[in-house]
Amino acid sequence: MKDGYTGPLERIDECCWRIPKDYKPGMRVEGRIYADDTLLKHIRADQAPEQVANVAFLPGIQMASLAMPDIHWGYGFCIGGVAATDPTSGGVISPGGVGYDINCGVRLVRTNLTYAEIKEQMPKLMDALYRRIPAGVGEGGPYLFGGKELDRLLAEGAGYLKTRGWATDADLEHTEANGCLPDADPDKVSQRAKQRGGDQCGTLGSGNHFLEVQVVEEVFDRRAAEVMGLEEGLVCVMIHSGSRGLGYQVCDDALAMFRKTPQKYGITLPDRQLACAPIESSEGQTYLGAMRCAANFAWANRQLLMWQTREVFADFFGRSWQSLQMNLVYDVAHNIAKFEEHVIDGRKLLVCVHRKGATRAFPAGHPELPQRYQQIGQPVIIPGDMGRASWVLVGQPASMEQTFGTTCHGAGRLLSRTAAIAQAKGRRIDQELAQQGIVARARSWKGLAEEHPEAYKDVSQVVEVVHRAGLASKVARLRPVGVVKG
């Protein structure tokens, strides 16, 4: 990791800081970082703010290069980075603004079980989930897709699973974009990517991916919580995964294709990791067609993970998942590029919004929200580390005015995975979590060591910033009581 950021950061207000447009010749817009004084110290510790300034060089970028309070160093874009580009003014698409794990995201499932009634059964429940939910590096699962069937999955996303009996109308309605980006083109996905994804739909993977059993610890917005079916003491399940090897390969293929596109189109960039192409170019369209397939694969992946979880709960408690009221609260993407209409300088524009480690947070009344959430706003699911808390928020109007309808996506790393492992040396993270009442199951010591709580910022501090900034407001805090890791 490079030394910390030493460039300018000018305070705009208590929750937002500016990197002026004149910081670097070639910046087309200013940079803006959402943070408070405490988080700013962490943010200055690496070069992520420099990446915010670099993204401001992208052709067609609108308003500002943005970063959320969980910002940290990433590939090209920082994690927590947001940028919108206008295709009608030469706007570009950049794979670095989506990331390797295309549509890494999270979904929350509520139940009608209380933690008090299942507390003593938690070790056995976590054993059952650990046995049934495929997790770990390269791990395959029971669902196999190939040939035309895989192409349909890539084109139709979670909707294809409904035709197989593995999704309901309500599941699709409560998934961002109904679990499918239109104009996905399976012909743009390489055979290598398809091979890597053939047995990985319905698997957690490794890294920061997880399945957590959580309890609603405190409710802050009772009306919104009631609409979502959340109340204090109830058990929920949070699932965090993405597009697995298929999405990684799609990104790898795109970066190889984009290696010379900036030069081809006369684009000057300060960092080759920001390799991009005009949205309307053949390269841009090829990447978009493949990226949408990977996003659809990820929504199908989380749908199948939820379906398996419902089956485990039904078998374990001897009741159908319907009688356990295991309903999907919402599913949100964290790494994606989507075309959305936003008002910029008083004009409605259709822009390509890159969200790299950032969450959509549309307010009440937005036409893309399901009817159930029209009055309260979009549920925003914010996972934290496995030792402290996760949060449910709702999108607020300021997000549309300031951040292209976007908020934070998690806690944000403090330590690299290598540093986290070094700090965990000689420790039993599972036993430390057990002392906190958290039952942890993992495929390896490394899986827990990389993700131990001290490796992350305190997610509650991150949430406090976006709450005060008016991007999303607090609904409920959830406490982990059981975790499955790769």
Task: State the sign of the Cα–Cα–Cα–Cα dihedral 463, 339, 403, 80.
Answer: positive
DSSP states of 257-318 as a string? HTTTHHHHTT---S-GGG--EETTSHHHHHHHHHHHHHHHHHHHHHHHHHHHHHHHHHHHHT
pLDDT the model gives residue 426: 87
Q: Report strand pairing: 472-485 vs 439-442.
A: parallel
467 among known catalytic residues: no
pLDDT the model gives residue 353: 98
Angle between helix 147-156 and helix 282-317 axes, rounded to 10 deg = 100
The residues that bridge with 218 in the sheet, in sequence order, are 477
For tokens 């947001």, name the residue.
Answer: 82
pTM of this prediction exceeds 0.95 = yes
For tokens 């919004």, name the residue.
Answer: 353
pLDDT the model gives residue 250: 98
Query: Which residue, 103, 104, 97, is CA-closest to 82?
Result: 97
For 164-228, the three-class secondary structure string (H helix, E strand, C coil) is CCCCCHHHHHCEHHHHCCCCCCHHHCCHHHHHHHCCCCCCCCCCCCEEEEEEEEEECCHHHHHHH
pLDDT the model gives residue 3: 81
Report residues of the chain scoring pLDDT below 70: 1-2
Measure Cα distances from 345 to 27, 42, 400, 401 in Å: 19, 33, 13, 10
Q: Report strand pairing: 64-72 vs 30-34.
A: parallel
CB neighbour list of residue 3: distance below 8 Å, 6 or more residues apart:
47
Please tell me which residue in 240, 409, 452, 467 is annotated as part of the active site. 409
pLDDT the model gives residue 416: 87
Per residue in 439-475, pLDDT tens?
Answer: 999 988 888 988 898 888 899 999 999 999 999 999 9
Measure Cα distances from 173 to 118, 249, 371, 433 in Å: 30, 29, 9, 35
From CA 325, how far away is CA 371, in angstroms rounded? 19
By the 10 Å C-beta count (0-12 exposed, 13-18 middle, 19+ buried), 173 is classed as: middle
The full set of domains in the chain, from first to last, is 10-485 (3.90.1860.10)
Angle between helix 282-317 and helix 244-257 axes, rounded to 10 deg = 170
- What percent of the residues of the chain are helix, what percent strand, and what percent coil, each to the nearest 5? 40, 25, 35
Q: Report strand pairing: 10-13 vs 64-72.
A: unpaired
Query: Which residue, 399, 330, 410, is CA-closest to 364?
Result: 399
